[in-house]
Amino acid sequence: MPETPPPENPENPGNAEAPDGPSRPSTLADGFRLAIGTLSVLPVRPGTVDRRAGGRAMALAPLVGAVLGGIAAAVLTAALWLEISPLLSSALAVGTLALLTRALHLDGLADLADGLGSGRPAERALDIMKRSDIGPFGVVTLVLTLLVQTAALTEAVSAGFGPPALVAACVAGRLALTWACREHVPGARPGGLGATVAGTVRRGPALAATALSLTGVAAVTFLFCFWILGPSSSGHHYLSHSPEDAVLYDGSYAPLRGAEMSEAYAGALEISSFPEGVLRLPQDLLSPLPALLPVVACPLAVVAGLLAASALRRRAVRRLGGITGDVLGALVETATAAALVVCVMV
């Protein structure tokens, strides 16, 4: 995430005086617009920017993450519908996120890796992070992070819950910003994005954002799983496919077609007379408990992403004396990668 010019007024950076007089106090809408404008390429009308707006923007960051994750998940779903391989579909989804964020989070990750990897004192490390070029530490960190994100998302796609896993990871990445801007976290520089948002989020809004994020991720994942399975009121799961092209889902949603179905599954299939041509699977054969594991895995992944970002944030604060825009961008990518990995591990 790029650094903005040093603010003219710490309480109202960049907007100390408007041409026609003092600027108005910031509102919740200003915070939401700042969150969208800072964390995405989505067009938004600028509003008043001050530390209060910065705090609101960071508290609302998970909502922006959900929007970005939803767009990337739609790209992923469309690619899979077009029968593009899971690996390439995942790469397209990860690339979509980079486009939606101007790759600023990835740039921040590379800059922080160069700064921390240099082993220099704080001031010198901050100077290295401000350079426009990327050093070897940044390149390696960037490549490994993108590989981990793509590989983990591919595994989630193969397990059948790629879209909700991607949404959960995006929410985790932006929720990491909320906690990185808590009241006790200082800025590393007197100006820039880090100084504008550091220490602006109180404990109450941070906890509320976390609770809403976890609840929202669980709800989205549950709806996705329910839509995939579509349980009937008779206690059986119906899959609307002809017997010649039977599709059976095991506990992890992995589709098994034709000869790939095990004899145990194939022997248990019954052709129902109503509705015609629908396969009926006994309830004990397709238990809903394994199918609903993603509902637990995705919220746990959000928590894991927060823990990974918290560890990196503490390291950055110790080495640099506080947070910067680059640190915030690195936290987003770290939490996103960690969440995707945990999604497929649970």
Tens of pLDDT along the chain (346 residues) come to: 655 444 434 444 433 333 344 467 888 888 999 999 999 999 888 788 889 999 999 999 999 999 999 999 999 999 999 999 999 999 999 999 999 999 999 999 999 999 999 888 889 999 999 988 899 999 999 999 999 999 999 999 998 889 999 999 999 999 999 999 999 999 988 888 888 899 999 999 999 999 999 999 999 999 888 776 444 333 333 333 333 333 443 333 334 433 443 443 444 444 333 344 444 444 443 445 556 788 999 999 999 999 999 999 999 999 999 999 999 999 999 999 999 999 999 7
pLDDT at 226: 76
Task: Give the residue carrying structure tokens 């895995």.
Answer: 297
| CA 298/CA 66 separation, integer angstroms | 13
3-state secondary structure (DSSP) of residue 10 = coil
- Name which of 72, 131, 74 is nearest 107 in CA terms: 131
Query: What are phi and psi for residue 257, nearest 5 degrees?
Result: -115, 145
Type and span of the H or E element at 270: strand 270-272
3-state secondary structure (DSSP) of residue 223 = helix
pLDDT at 279: 41
pLDDT at 48: 83
The pTM for the full model equals 0.78
| CA 155/CA 296 separation, integer angstroms | 17
8 A C-beta contact, residue 2 and residue 101: no
- Name which of 209, 196, 175 is nearest 304 in CA terms: 175
Hey, which residues does 238 pair with through a beta bridge?
280
Within 13 Å of residue 122, how many CA atoms lie on the same side as its CB? Answer: 13
